[in-house]
A and B are shown apart, each in its own frame.
Chain A
Amino acid sequence: MANILQNLVNALQWGSFYALIALGYSMVYSILMLFNFAHGDIFMVGAYIGFGVATGLVALTSMGAIVLPNWLILVLTIIISMFLTSFVGMLVERIGYRPLRDAPRASAAITGLMIGIILETGNLALLGAQRVSFPPLINSVTYELGGVYITNKKIMIVFVSIGFMIALQLFVTRSKWGMAMRAMAYDYVVVPLMGVSINNIARMTFAIGSALAAVAGILFGIAYPVLDPYMGILFGWKAFVAAILGGRGSIMGATLAGFLLGFIEIFVAMIFPSTLRDLIAYSIVLLILVFRPHGFFGEPYSAKLRL
């Protein structure tokens, strides 16, 4: 029993990463009918930017230039990295996707793959093949509850992730920008007739998705402090699976599917050798998709793509 609960806690943390990244895929897919395959690499870029910002702040503190407690360094790292990574996302949208908006969908999809490769190899060229270590901003404290071990890091990661997901949900359902996003997901050709610039909404969506990927990157760096330029590939693919499994444009769906993937992976690994983890886990996911091809939730949309 304790073992199951222990894995449940681990799965929550693992699923948080998938869910945060899946939201970015899901939003872009729903408003632009576009698979942003570079998004996994945006997660990687976010983790590296977080690494850079955190390392810088730690260095400044140790030099005595500024006096900051570690928790404040973490908060600042998250905020600054979200901001910087959102610019990377907006740049990707402007250079890679906007010129191709009316191009065949396949062209836009391979654009994402190419941008991904450019981000990975660009990072390699910039920082070299050596892995980097995320500075330890949190002194790990382990609590024991009836045989289940929970670290303060895990609690923080899960709560911060869920906090951002709730914030996003509120933004999309309550704000006028969120309303424009939902309208665009339904029928984007008519949106300009409402006096709304499609380009601005697309840019904003990339910015938000990228900022959330940066949060995932930093939280990942705190839990598993070794970063490498290719860390975003497999993670990105899996988060993409979660986005589709959740249902088109559904924030709730992407979140739940992200956590579900985390649970499936962790529980498969609990029973089977870990080398079989993804083989079995993704066979299960495939089976789910066969029975629910539209995913769990999903917004309706108008099939008309021309006015």
Chain B
Amino acid sequence: MMLSVENLTVSYDKIKALHGLNFQIDEGEIITIIGANGAGKSTTLKAISRLVPVGKETRMTYMGKDMLSYPPDKVVSQLGISHVPEGRRLFGNLTVMENLKLATFARKDTAGIKRDLERVFSIFTRLKERSTQKAGTLSGGEQQMLAIGRAFMSARKMMLLDEPSMGLAPLLMLDVFDALREINREGTTILLVEQNARLALQFAQRGYVLETGNLVLEGTSEELLNNPEVKKAYLGG
């Protein structure tokens, strides 16, 4: 088991957003958490990245280490977990290249950085053409590519993805998911949260369904795709 989350609770201003989630991810897997807007999907990812405080009863272990003793920057630089946040959140005042380089801030392996940069540019050729352009001037699709590329540069063991399909045209969306599958094939474990449940379940091997802060269902993607309740609530009948 790579990541194990037990009894995850998160509260915002004393209102509980997550009511004790339990889930595990094995190395090399693609896992998805699907759910409606406001169910707590982003909060779950932020809790793993240590960007929001978790409740006292929460336990999180990653490769046998207690994650709760790591500050957010060390989760990236020491544990190797990167996070593509909701809405991409690129540094619009920095160039494409600077965005990618900043993500390697804590890395010392110059040769590895160079190799990864070439890899990003080979997966997303558009980024190479735009490398000296300010990130704020990119189109929505290019921004999503850069957000994923930036995560790829920062850490590679596990990638947390928050709604990568948002705002993308269907064709671009497929490109992005193809790229993610390739990244996974090269050894990166992926945890994806999505409102687009069909897309997410077609992409992942296993999934969880999150409803108002509780995980209500889990199973293989096939099981969930064929589950009548999932069909009704998330797949449009």
**Interface residues, chain A, with chain B CB atoms under 8 Å away:** 176, 179-180, 182-183, 185-187, 189-190, 192-198, 299-302, 304, 307
Contacts and interface: CB of A to CB of B under 8 A. Distances in A.
B94 A192 contact: no
A176 B72 contact: no
Interface in B98-134: 98, 101-107
A301 B94 CA distance: 11
B167 interface: no
Contacts of A176: 101-102, 105
B34 interface: no
Given A183-B91, A187-B89, A307-B51, A193 B105 contact: no
A307 B105 contact: no
A141 B93 CA distance: 46
B93 A192 contact: no
Given A183-B102, A194-B154, A195-B106, A302 B89 contact: yes
A195 B107 contact: yes
A28 B176 CA distance: 38
B164 to A, nearest CB: 15
Contact of B102 (A196, A301, A302): A196
Contact of A182 (B82, B93, B151): B93
B167 to A, nearest CB: 16
A176 B215 CA distance: 41
Contacts of B98: 179
A193 B83 contact: yes
Interface of B: 42, 46, 49, 51, 71-73, 76-77, 82-83, 85-87, 89, 91-94, 98, 101-107, 136, 150-151, 154-155
A198 B46 CA distance: 16
A117 to B, nearest CB: 33
Contacts of B102: 176, 179-180, 183, 194, 196
Which of B72, B103, B104, B155 lies at the interface centre, i.e. has the most chain A CB atoms within 10 A of its CB?
Answer: B72
Contacts, number: 82
Given A190-B85, A193-B76, A307-B85, 17 more contacts: A176-B102, A176-B105, A179-B98, A179-B101, A180-B102, A182-B94, A190-B91, A193-B82, A194-B73, A194-B102, A194-B150, A195-B76, A195-B103, A195-B106, A196-B105, A307-B46, A307-B89
A228 to B, nearest CB: 41
A197 B71 contact: yes
Contacts of B93: 182-183, 185-186, 299-301
A163 B154 CA distance: 35
B199 to A, nearest CB: 23
A189 B51 contact: yes
A194 B92 contact: no
Contacts of A299: 93
22 contacts: A176-B102, A182-B91, A183-B91, A183-B94, A183-B102, A186-B91, A190-B91, A192-B51, A192-B71, A192-B72, A192-B76, A193-B72, A193-B82, A193-B83, A193-B154, A195-B76, A195-B105, A195-B106, A300-B136, A307-B46, A307-B85, A307-B89
Q: What are the 8 closest A-B residue pairs judged by CB atoms, nearest first?
A: A192-B72, A195-B77, A195-B106, A195-B76, A192-B73, A183-B91, A190-B89, A197-B73
A304 B85 CA distance: 13
A303 to B, nearest CB: 11
Contacts of A301: 93
Contacts of B136: 300
A190 B89 CA distance: 7
Contacts of B103: 194-195
A88 B19 CA distance: 44
Contacts of A193: 49, 51, 72, 76, 82-83, 85, 151, 154
A198 B89 contact: no
B71 A180 contact: no
Nearest to B150: A194
